[in-house]
Amino acid sequence: MEGKTYKIRVNVKNGEIEVEGDKDFVRKEIKDLLEIISKKIKVETTIIGEESGQTEKASTKKDRLHSINEGASDLDQFNALTEFFKYKSPKKVWEKALVVAYWITYKENISEFSPSEISDRLKKIGVSPPGNPWDVLKKLASAKKAYLLKGNSRGKYKMGMLGKEYVENELPKSDKK
C-alpha cells in the first residue's frame, strides 16, 4: 500500500520551488528551504540596516518565517472545517473566504478552487456565504491584498503565501480574547 503523497509549491515571483513526496520528506525539505531563506533575509536586512543607519534585528523576520512553517501543524488537529473555522473565528467576509480557501488547499489538498466552492463549504457549515463570492476572491487576489493568486484555469484561484501567513498568524483564535 502506497503512502499519501504531499506536495508544496512556492512561487516567489516565478522562482517556483516544488517539493513532492511523503510527509516527512516534504517537511524536511521545506524546513531546509526556510533555513536558507532565513539566513539570506538576515544578511540582507543587516546590510540594508547598516546602510540606512537602522538597528532593526532580522530575527523578527526569521521568527515569522519559522512560524509560517509551524502553522501547518495547527491544521492537523482539526477533522472538520466547522471546528477549524470556529477556532480561527474570522469576522470579515473576506477572512471567512480566506479561511475556507486555506482549508481547501492544505486540508483537502486541492490546489485550485472556485468562488462557488468557497460558498458551498460556507453553506455546509452554516455560515452565510458572501453575496458576490466572485468579487470577494477577485479582491483577495488583487495586487492590493495578494492573499490569493489566480489559478491556471479560468475562474479558479489558489492560496498565496500572504494568505497562508495571514490565516496562520494573524487571524484571532477562539482562545484569544
Number of Cβ within 10 Å of residue 95's Cβ equals 19
Residue 67 has pLDDT above 70, yes or no: no
- Lowest mean pLDDT of 6-10, 18-22, 154-158, name the range: 6-10
* Stretch (H or E) spanning 159: strand 157-159
Q: What is the mean pLDDT of residues 158-169?
A: 93
Query: For residue 137, how many other CB atoms are within 10 A of its CB?
Result: 26
Query: What secondary structure letter does DSSP report for 168?
Result: I
Dihedral of CA 29/36/142/130: which sign? positive
Domains and CATH numbers, the chain: 6-74 (no CATH), 78-170 (1.10.10)
Classify 173 in phi/psi space as left (phi over 0), alpha (psi -120 to 50) or beta.
beta
Average the pLDDT over 137-143 and give the result. Answer: 92
Indicate if the pLDDT at residue 120 is higher than 60.
Answer: yes
Rounded Cα distance between 12 and 15, Å, is 5
What's the pLDDT at 34? 75
d(CA 81, CA 76): 12
Check pLDDT > 50 for residue 70.
Answer: no
